[in-house]
Amino acid sequence: MPISLPGRVVIFDYGEVISLSPSEADRQALLRVAGVEADSFWEPYWRHRTELDQGTLSIHDYWRRIEADTGAQWSESTLHLLWVTDFRGWLSVEPGTIDVLVDLRDGGTRLALLSNAGADFGSYFRQGLLGSLFEQVFVSGELLLVKPDAAIFLHALDELGIDAAHAVFIDNKAENVEGAEAIGITGHVFTGAADLRAFLVALAG
């Protein structure tokens, strides 16, 4: 059923809203390529992620930092395998969220994507099938800004030609939603497609 929100733009996060979390099989595949124990791998994997997402750390240097922190010794070919294995783990989508996106599109609602992600995701977001759903795509690694910094939301609003009162922001992280709400954007913390649909339908009146 189409969901129509005239005059508003619904801005979606990607990771764990549109995408599923990497599966246990995905995580184990990454650890096999890395050749290190989980206890030493995941802490630097996440600790260095903000700089990667902010565009201040290259993909190559991101993996080299994890290598140094874990005591591993990776060849250049292993770095490529790590990157592609990690990237692939974030490509699975939540069908229920896709259905909500399609219903918003069919209702004539404007849509945008705002993701904390490395610049390497920009092409996938824009040129993959997802790109057909969004009027504009904003990737933190390209903008050198990350959520919940107000500056990234203000940039998106400016590019979309709207003020905060005409934006709705969906993210699975409460701190990012709070960042959007702090400048006047209507926010929703994503916990599942059914709750998201109910929220948007109620908003549509």
The pLDDT, as a whole number, for residue 137 is 98
The total of other beta-carbon atoms located within 10 Å of residue 135's CB is 13
Total domains present in the chain: 2
Clarify whether residues 70 and 151 are in a common domain: no
pLDDT along the chain (205 residues), means of 10: 97 98 97 97 97 96 98 97 97 97 98 97 96 97 97 98 98 98 98 98 95
* 1 domain-assigned: no
The domain that holds 195 is classified in CATH as 3.40.50.1000
Looking at the DSSP assignment, which residues form a beta bridge with residue 187? 169
Q: Angle at which helices 150-160 and 174-181 pack, to 10 degrees? A: 60
**What are the distances in angstroms from CA 179 to CA 16, 38, 164, 183, 184?**
18, 32, 12, 7, 9
The pLDDT, as a whole number, for residue 119 is 95
Q: Which structural domain, as residue segments, surrounds residue 143? A: 9-20+93-204
Clarify whether residues 40 and 104 are in a common domain: no
Domain boundary among 70, 89, 108: 89
How big, in percent rounded to 5, are the helix, strand and coil portions of the chain? Answer: 55, 10, 30
* 2 domain-assigned: no
Clarify whether residues 14 and 29 are in a common domain: no
The pLDDT, as a whole number, for residue 88 is 96
The pLDDT, as a whole number, for residue 205 is 87
